[in-house]
């Protein structure tokens, strides 16, 4: 499997007791700032809520995660959950934050081929494979956490992915419409499409990975790796 060794270290588990950033900051390009000046009790409540949500997913699946259920499991008021995360999507996005931040860190400062030091084409291949396997590993959560259509493509998490792909494309094919090509490439990594291909069409991940590598070669007018 291509990039198998890289992927074995790129899929961390759900976050434990820690302070993830707000969902509006997910996958920003650049250093991820710490959440400003949380009171100690607020920090404890946030960690307790994320732990409770992770337990509910483990026990009942993503469908078992409601704001009311998380509040009850964490033994806090329902208003606390809404104040910390805004809505259910915000809560689910916070659960995805750990792996999203890990992917960002790998892209910005990790080892090649995803991190700096590898040719842009190799980095683009590795980036798509990383996103593909991260989505497949957390597919139900990824689908449940997607924002509604009118803000899906403007959400910071998607915007950061688009920015990173666009940056690499501009180094590989500077004469192309890289903004539009980035959107096209990312469409092939959409969690709903991955769900359809892997669960409804029973396609193995190896085929999706090979498809990404082939798509990159065709979009960038380059030869696939041998």
pTM, to two decimals:
0.71
Task: Identify how many contiguous H helices and E strands the chain contains and give both numbers.
Answer: 12, 0
Residue among 150, 153, 151, 131 at smallest CA distance from 142: 131
Confidence (pLDDT) at 92:
86
Report helix, strand and coil shares of the chain as percent, to nearest 5. Answer: 65, 0, 35
Confidence (pLDDT) at 18:
35
Confidence (pLDDT) at 153:
82
DSSP assigned state of 24: G
- SS3 of residue 148 by DSSP: coil
Confidence (pLDDT) at 100:
79
Give domain limits for the chain.
Answer: 4-11+96-220
H helices of 66-204, where? 67-74, 78-85, 88-109, 120-137, 139-144, 149-152, 156-172, 178-187, 191-195
Q: Which CATH class is domain 4-11+96-220?
A: mainly alpha
CB 45 within 8 A of CB 80: yes
CB 27 within 8 A of CB 103: yes
pLDDT per residue rounded down to tens, the chain (226 residues)? 443 443 333 333 333 333 333 333 333 333 333 444 457 777 777 888 888 888 888 888 888 889 999 999 988 888 888 988 888 888 888 887 766 778 888 999 999 999 999 999 999 999 999 999 999 988 988 888 887 777 778 777 788 899 999 999 999 999 999 999 999 999 999 999 999 999 999 999 999 999 999 999 999 999 988 8
CB 164 within 8 A of CB 178: no
Confidence (pLDDT) at 147:
74
Residues near 57 by beta carbon (within 8 Å), at least 6 away in sequence: 14, 64, 65, 95, 141
Q: CA torsion sign, 34 to 35 to 41 to 45? A: negative
Residue with tokens 């910390």: 84
Q: Which neighbouring-strand residues pair with 116?
A: 118
């Amino acid at each position: 499997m291509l990039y198998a060794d890289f992927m074995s270290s790129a899929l961390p588990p759900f976050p434990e007791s820690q302070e993830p950033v707000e969902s509006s900051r997910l996958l920003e390009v650049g250093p991820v700032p710490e959440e400003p000046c949380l009171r100690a009790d607020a920090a404890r409540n946030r960690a307790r809520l994320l732990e409770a949500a992770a337990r509910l997913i483990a026990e009942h699946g993503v469908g078992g995660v409601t704001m009311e259920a998380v509040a009850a499991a964490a033994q806090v008021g329902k208003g606390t959950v809404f104040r910390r995360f805004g809505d259910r999507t915000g809560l689910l996005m916070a659960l995805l934050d750990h792996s999203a931040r890990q992917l960002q860190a790998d892209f910005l400062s990790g080892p090649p081929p995803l991190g700096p030091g590898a040719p842009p084409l190799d980095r683009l291949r590795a980036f798509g494979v990383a996103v593909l396997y991260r989505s497949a590993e957390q597919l139900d959560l990824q689908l449940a956490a997607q924002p509604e259509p009118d803000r899906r493509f403007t959400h910071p998490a998607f915007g950061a992915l688009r920015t990173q792909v666009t940056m690499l494309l501009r180094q590989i094919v500077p004469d192309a419409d890289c903004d539009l090509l980035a959107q096209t490439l990312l469409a092939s990594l959409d969690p709903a499409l991955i769900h359809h291909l892997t669960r409804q069409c029973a396609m193995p991940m190896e085929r999706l990975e090979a498809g990404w590598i082939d798509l990159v070669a065709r979009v960038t007018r380059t030869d696939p790796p041998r």
